[in-house]
Structure 1
């Protein structure tokens, strides 16, 4: 069984990091049940330095997550009682090393020369919010 949606999964993961500014530990602990499509929010319950909170989902993220979670590979994972949004090997929670490796691979494929880490997304989100006056 190929349980990963590959590019769609990676796009959803990067878009989520970029548009919400959540920490990598919060991303790795994120479960399907934490997503509220009706109210366009994500409930953050676990992660380093995390108090329970809620983040807003922009429309593009909401559509991407709906698309990603509707795919048969993701639905198979849900039926097997694994509701982590992103996984290491279809069964286990994504760990920090695997997340870093995926990001390095994506930046290399994209031709980005700078070093990009999961925390780079958080910095970028904060900078974009500062620029926009949010």
Structure 2
């Protein structure tokens, strides 16, 4: 990633063996709008890994072996609108933390039930959001 210009807006890292995301991994990419870190074997994300990505609008975390979140990692993502995430990982995100993601409009979940089990979380603070299950 060090070879990418600091003004990169779309970063496609899928299928890389990143293992974990430290707190300084994306600090130079403050212009990112789209980040795909799907299938990267990520087992942990530092709670401040995304803190410099304030312009990010879409994040793809699908197909990583993470089991739980350590804190509210999405709080700095003021412009986040679209999130791709596994159902199991989504279910571990702190329920009260979703109110910090005010612009989120679409959540795509994978590998879980299609019974709209997160509708209660998203329906009140995020009135214009759709949750899609695959």
| Same fold (TM > 0.5) | no
Pick the TM interval, shorter chain: under 0.3
Higher helix share: 1
Higher strand share: 2
TM-score by length of structure 2 reads: 0.21
